[in-house]
Amino acid sequence: MAKLVIFLLALLCGIFAVRAQSDLRSILEVLSEGPLARLLDTYIDPPPRTTGFSTLTPQNSIRLLCTKTNEPRFQQVFFGDVNVRNKLNFSLPLTIAIHGWLDTNLTLYNTLTPSYLRFVNNTNYCVLDWRPYAEFGYQVAARQSAPLVAQYLFGFLQNLSLLYFPLDKVSLIGFSMGGQIAGLTGKLLPGRIGTIYALDPAGPLFSHPIDIGPKRRLDASDAQYVQVIYTSRYTAGFGKVLVGAQNFLPNKGYHPQADCTAKGDGVGELTVALQCSHRYAVKLFVSSLNPANPIIGKKCPTIFGARVCLMPTTDRLGVYAKRILGDFYL
């Protein structure tokens, strides 16, 4: 009987310890999120929106514009669109591009779309415009906007699947917070999305100051294949954990990337340089769309903590990858 009591006490202590550790983690997360988010908002001009979130509705504030690469003509596709079969070719794959936080000028789409339509043939191509929700401060965007947009995209894809569109033919391309939205969408359709390309997925409030865990941020399990390009780790981009099934790391994934060194010591110059490194992932991905311009990464074994690249495994970054799992350095 005494042994049973001791066992039960030990079990209860273990449960309380795990609960206490979880509660402490949640407290630290809450305490650290606000200051970091406010710091990020400080460097935005004009400042992010602080009011009006509740007045928005996904049906009116999120737009999906689609075309076919062989006959470019964008049309808006609505949630539950009865004409979706006329706007999409169900016999072709579907790619959806997702922009990041405060991308008011649609930098991703303006850079990506012309090359994608030129070099990737016979596919449906859509751009997801969630700018009204992306205009808010970073904490609101990360904790409220991103899950809401992912829920909207999930509903659209779920509706397609009910019309017998195979979701393993769907590719999501997300830049910065768009990469996190792609991951959150994939979690709502576990194991069904074909591919996610995450271009320097957002790190603040996802991987640092505290990693919120694979259930709430991008993870290799969010699609059948997840490729991640890291170009500003621990700053604008993701931190310690490499979350893709296949990871590409130019300059080991760190700022500054090529041609992204700060021109001076001022905050403005440093911010511009960091944005340059963050967007370098988009530049690499877009460049790789040209079949004649392969961008090659090397996967090297680690011996005593050092990478040895005598006979490395190689693979192409981007849509033409052989999908060899692991970490590839450029």
DSSP state of 313: E
The closest of 156, 141, 146 to 189, measured between CA atoms, is: 156
Across the chain, mean pLDDT equals: 89
Tell me the pTM.
0.90
Give the separation between CA 44 and CA 123, rounded to whole angstroms. 36
Across 302-312, average pLDDT? 81
Give the separation between CA 94 and CA 127, rounded to whole angstroms. 11
Residue type, 94: L
Q: Which residues contact 146 (CB under 8 A, 6 or more apart)?
A: 177, 180, 181, 184
pLDDT higher at 305 or 76: 76
Q: 124-129 and 195-199 as β-strands: parallel, antiparallel, unpaired? A: unpaired
Query: Tokens representing 169?
Result: 């033919």
Rounded to whole angstroms, what are the CA distances from 210 to 40, 205, 221, 245, 315?
A: 16, 7, 20, 22, 32
Q: So what's the pLDDT on residue 164?
A: 96
Q: So what's the pLDDT on residue 102?
A: 93
Give the separation between CA 110 and CA 117, rounded to whole angstroms. 12
The pLDDT tens digits for 104-137 are 778 788 899 999 999 999 999 999 999 999 999 9
Residue 256: Cβ within 10 Å count: 17
Q: So what's the pLDDT on residue 309?
A: 81
Q: 313-316 and 296-299 as β-strands: parallel, antiparallel, unpaired? A: antiparallel
Q: What are the b/e assignments for 54-71, b being 16+ CB within 10 Å?
A: eebebeebbbbbbbbbee
Q: What are phi and psi of 207, to 5 degrees?
A: -115, -20
Share of the chain above pLDDT 90, in %: 74
| DSSP class per residue in 207-220 | TBSS---TTTS--G
Q: Give all domains of the chain, ordered by start, each with its CATH number.
A: 21-291 (3.40.50.1820)
| DSSP class per residue in 47-89 | PPB-S-GGG--HHHH-EEEEEETTEEEEEEE-TT-TTHHHHS-
The closest of 329, 229, 203, 228 to 281, measured between CA atoms, is: 229
Residue 101: Cβ within 10 Å count: 26
Q: So what's the pLDDT on residue 30?
A: 59
Across 298-315, average pLDDT? 86
Residue 97: Cβ within 10 Å count: 25
pLDDT at 47 exceeding the cut of 60: yes
The pLDDT tens digits for 5-18 are 343 333 334 433 43
In the structure, what pLDDT confidence band is assigned to residue 230 with cuts at 50, 70 and 90? very high
In the structure, what pLDDT confidence band is assigned to residue 26 with cuts at 50, 70 and 90? low
pLDDT at 226 exceeding the cut of 60: yes
In the structure, what pLDDT confidence band is assigned to residue 69 with cuts at 50, 70 and 90? confident
